[in-house]
Amino acid sequence: MSSRILAGYQTSEGQTAKIAECIADTLRDRGHDVDVHDVEPAPSGYGAMVVGDSIHAVKHCRPMIRYISEKVGALNAKPSALFQVCLASANPDDEHTVSAHAATST
């Protein structure tokens, strides 16, 4: 199994790509080999995956939904994590937390 880690992202305005780069830098500081890639076209062959996208109109983006649908077997079999970027996640009060969590069901 590859020991490389994917820091995957989908972005509309560029913020999620920057966050994926920060995640990759942190993992590299801890001694891991990390590639940062857009999830479209879907990268494969990684030993672990951290992937994220931004929320628009309370929904994850289509390319990320496609990537997760296509790779669900690998994501469940290997260490994996999903992060989301949105304005609601930046505010910890109940109303915004409910809104941020709503996107995870899409």
Ligand X SMILES: Cc1cc2nc3c(=O)[nH]c(=O)nc-3n(C[C@H](O)[C@H](O)[C@H](O)COP(=O)(O)O)c2cc1C
Residues contributing to the site for ligand X (CB under 6 A): 11-16, 54-58, 85-88
Q: Which of 79, 49, 64, 65 is nearest to 16 (CA)?
A: 64
Q: Which two tokens stand for residue 38?
A: 């857009």
Closer by beta carbon to ligand X, 47 or else 84: 84
Which of residues 58 and 77 has its CB atom nearest to ligand X in the complex?
58
Q: For ligand X, which is the closer residue by CB, 2 or 106?
A: 106
Nearest one of 39, 99, 89, 48 to 69, comparing CA atoms: 39
Smallest gap from residue 92 Cβ to ligand X (A): 13
